[in-house]
Amino acid sequence: MSCFLFPKGLCEKIERAGKREIHWCQWKFLCRPKEEGGLGFRSMAQFNISLLAKQETLVTQVFKANFDNLQSDKVAALINNNNREWNRELIVNTFPAKVADLIF
For the entire predicted model, the pTM comes to 0.34
Residue 72 lies in a domain: yes
Radius of gyration of the chain (CA): 21
Residue 21 lies in a domain: yes
Q: What is the pLDDT of residue 29?
A: 79
Same domain, yes or no, for 12 and 50? yes
Residue 32 lies in a domain: yes
Determine the length of the chain. 104
- The conformational region for residue 75 under phi > 0 = left, psi -120 to 50 = alpha, else beta, is alpha
Range of the domain at 77: 67-104
Which stretches of the chain drop beneath a pLDDT of 50? 1
Same domain, yes or no, for 1 and 48? yes
Q: What is the pLDDT of residue 48?
A: 77
Q: What is the pLDDT of residue 72?
A: 58
Same domain, yes or no, for 46 and 91? no
DSSP 8-state symbol, 24 = S
Q: What is the pLDDT of residue 96?
A: 84
Give the closest residue to 67 by CA, choosing from 91, 38, 45, 49. 91
Same domain, yes or no, for 7 and 36? yes
Number of domains composing the chain: 2
